[in-house]
């Protein structure tokens, strides 16, 4: 048997370091060749690191949230044959009592991670099979995916244990083998409490801000710090637009795909930007240069399991409704799956954001720096309106927009949104060049 060290690969594009965001293995796990062992994050993209060989995990080289230099040791495996490390360079033997996620080499810890969380990881239970008494077993939400290695998931399946009911004592709530033992020893019963819904709750959770969540925090902080925002909200009657959308879906939904409201909004934005090119722009405030773009590279704010991402639909001005709908679905799915390439997550000139049916009445969206504008879509509701002296029900929707006041004047912002309103309230104009 030999020792094989897996190092952080050279991802290219001059990247010198990455952030470790997820472990897929733990010490003691057996990994196959090409099995994913960890996810790391560059500036925006998340990259999976596979194992080039099969073997048993001896030790991990970093903690979740650490910044790791390219070429640094990531994992040590016990493999058949000689491996790629000398025997005397192998880590000290890990006993069963130390099989919790204790890491051999730590780079500089993330600034946003509380010191208590690092200490908690290093102070893992010394006795296997004993779960922390301070953390009662609480069922997770039905759609919440528990953190656990493939080995733990397989063992839970063999034991007939549902992981959503198991307390995780590892980093970020990861479920360990010892947690399964403790759950089985307790009979899978939660501690006795008072009347349902009225029991006292005593607990605190320190959640490190790492990975995509940290990138989002930095991006939002930079946007609000550097950009003087002002917002503009307008109410739009989308009754005719919804009637047109329903008609198009009934005629072409099976052959061309169903249309949402977003492709219509994107088309209205493209047409309105022709009159206001200063809004389809990026502002380099350090150089004092505003770059206006002929093409509309539409950022589509997308909620993922890791947080908000903004994939880019390039040249939206060249797409019809169905091509735009397919493009939005494609880039959004790439972001949600974590498979989006780096160039698919940068280069937008204006952003469209929507919370769908949960869009509320109005919002104040944050500009995606270094863009100068963002348009947010709120939910469609039926409200009474006066039409020809009669009170009738109409479908109304608010557009909530924010602009960089250094570049966009309030009058121009209002005119831009009013141009979009005219197009959306008379949807036939969307098809007139």
Active site residues: 405, 409
R_g over Cα of the chain: 26
The CB density around residue 231, as the number of other CB atoms within 10 Å, is 15
Structure tokens at 298: 């539409």
For the range 48-54, what are the long-range contacts, defined as Cβ-Cβ under 8 Å and sequence gap of 24 or more? 49/6, 49/8, 49/9, 49/74, 51/6, 51/75, 51/77, 52/6, 53/4, 53/77, 53/79, 54/30, 54/79, 54/80
The CB density around residue 179, as the number of other CB atoms within 10 Å, is 28
Cα–Cα dist 27/101, whole Å: 7
Select from 289, 292, 291, 309 the least CA-distant residue to 300.
309
Strands of 160-248, DSSP E: 229-237
Structure tokens at 249: 């879906």
Sheet-wide strand order for 312-313: 229-237, 390-404, 373-387, 350-354, 298-300, 312-313
Q: By three-state DSSP, how is residue 420 classified?
A: helix
């Amino acid at each position: 048997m030999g020792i094989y060290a897996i190092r952080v690969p050279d991802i290219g594009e001059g990247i010198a370091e990455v952030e470790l965001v997820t472990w897929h293995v733990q010490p003691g796990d057996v990994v196959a060749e090409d099995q994913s062992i960890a996810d790391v994050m560059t500036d925006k993209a998340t990259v999976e690191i596979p194992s080039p060989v099969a073997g048993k995990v001896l030790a991990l080289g970093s903690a979740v949230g650490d910044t790791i230099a390219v070429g640094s040791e990531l994992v040590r495996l016990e493999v058949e044959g000689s491996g790629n490390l000398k025997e005397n360079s192998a880590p000290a033997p890990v006993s069963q009592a130390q099989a919790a996620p204790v890491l051999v080499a730590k780079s500089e810890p993330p600034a946003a991670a509380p010191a208590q969380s690092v200490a908690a990881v290093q102070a893992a239970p010394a006795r296997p099979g004993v779960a922390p008494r301070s953390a009662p077993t609480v069922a997770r939400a039905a759609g919440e995916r528990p953190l656990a290695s493939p080995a733990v998931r397989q063992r839970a399946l063999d034991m007939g244990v549902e992981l959503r009911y198991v307390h995780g004592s590892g980093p970020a709530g990861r479920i360990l083998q010892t947690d399964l033992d403790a759950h089985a020893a307790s009979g899978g019963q939660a501690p006795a409490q008072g009347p349902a819904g009225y029991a006292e709750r005593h607990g605190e959770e320190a959640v490190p801000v790492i990975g995509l969540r940290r990138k989002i925090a930095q991006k939002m902080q930079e946007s609000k710090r550097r950009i003087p925002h002002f917002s503009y909200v307008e109410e739009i009657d989308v009754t005719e637009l919804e009637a047109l959308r329903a008609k198009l879906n009934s005629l072409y939904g099976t052959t061309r795909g169903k249309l949402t409201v977003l492709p219509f909004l994107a088309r209205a934005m493209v047409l309105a930007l022709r009159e206001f090119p200063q809004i389809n722009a990026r502002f380099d405030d350090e150089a004092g240069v505003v770059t206006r773009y002929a093409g509309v590279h539409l950022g589509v704010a997308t909620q993922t399991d890791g947080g908000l991402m903004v994939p880019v639909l390039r040249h939206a001005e060249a797409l019809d409704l169905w091509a735009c709908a397919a493009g939005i679905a494609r880039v959004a799915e790439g972001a949600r799956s974590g498979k989006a390439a780096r160039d698919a997550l940068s280069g937008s000139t204006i952003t469209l954001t929507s919370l769908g049916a949960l869009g509320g009445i109005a919002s104040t969206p944050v500009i995606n720096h270094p863009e100068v504008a963002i348009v947010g879509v709120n939910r469609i509701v039926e409200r009474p309106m006066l039409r020809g002296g009669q009170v009738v029900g109409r479908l109304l929707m608010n557009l909530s927009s924010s602009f960089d006041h250094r570049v966009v004047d309030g009058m121009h912002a209002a005119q831009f949104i009013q141009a979009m309103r005219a197009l959306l309230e008379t949807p036939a104009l969307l098809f007139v060049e």
